[in-house]
Amino acid sequence: MSEQLTIALSKGRIFDETLPLLAVAGIVPAEDPEQSRKLIIATNREQVRLVIVRATDVPTYVQYGAADLGIAGKDVLTEHGGEGLYQPLDLHIARCRMMVAVRQGFDYQAASQPGRRLRVATKYPDIAAAHFAAKGVHVDIIKLYGSMELAPLVGLSDAIVDLVSTGGTLKANRLEAVEHIADISSRLVVNKAALKTKYALLEPVIQAFARAVASDTPTHDKETDNEHSAD
Ligand code: ATP
Ligand code: MG
């Protein structure tokens, strides 16, 4: 059997925004993961297959070599730590911002003074802890898996750390962003060992992605926000 290349992708915006990049590399999925229930999807190229995993699981599949490469948000990569991963390219897709948000009218300045403790709900405990530690603000972090926007509305927390693109979800829930933590976009991640052992297969794909990004850089305003962005 000839060597296989396995690419880990998540459904939704990352898959959708990756399709044009794959096309530049001459890779076309045989099925749409939104329609199919298959978790392994063949492509037009016999040697290349896609595996469909949760966005937060992409770095793990690539780290352990179950996938040779993958695409993951900087948010997910920072929280994962990036161990065992080579990160050659910022793909400039799935762009958004990591922000601190509170209920409209909440006195964030007062609540984050020395001597106070701020309760922060988030899906990103490491990013949140590092941010507040750098500011010298004492926080209690509450780990959530989705719908962070609800937490300040029902008194679970004072603030949330979450991804924001248009701000529509915050506004719909009477929240406001009060601090910018980081700009987020998705990155190509490659298994460090595969980069050596499968170089001949991987290198043209990485090069094609680099070309696609270079020829299509000003795509910032394709940001989307919808009711699913909180989950
Ligand atoms: P699920 O929605 O299945 O619970 P998820 O929330 O991890 O999983 P997505 O919402 O598709 O999956 O997010 C995947 C990645 O897309 C995130 O890790 C982040 O990098 C990026 N992202 C998330 N929300 C937005 C947004 N509103 N706009 C742009 N990019 C986003
Ligand atoms: Mg989501």
pLDDT score, position 217: 66
pTM of the model: 0.91
What is the predicted pLDDT for the residue at 166? 96
Give residue 216's pLDDT.
79
Q: What is the pLDDT of residue 140?
A: 98
Domains of the chain: 5-94+185-214 (3.40.190.10), 97-183 (3.40.190.10)
Predicted confidence at residue 225, as pLDDT, reads 45
**E-assigned strands of the chain?**
5-9, 40-42, 48-52, 69-73, 85-90, 96-103, 117-122, 138-143, 159-164, 175-184, 186-191
State the pLDDT at residue 115: 86
Q: Which atom of ligand 1 is nearest to the CA of 76?
A: 18
Is residue 231 in contact with ligand 1, taking CB distance under 6 Å?
Answer: yes
Q: Which segments of the chain have a pLDDT < 50?
A: 221-231
Probe target for ligand 1 pocket from 9, 13, 186, with the most ligand atoms within 8 Å of CB? 13
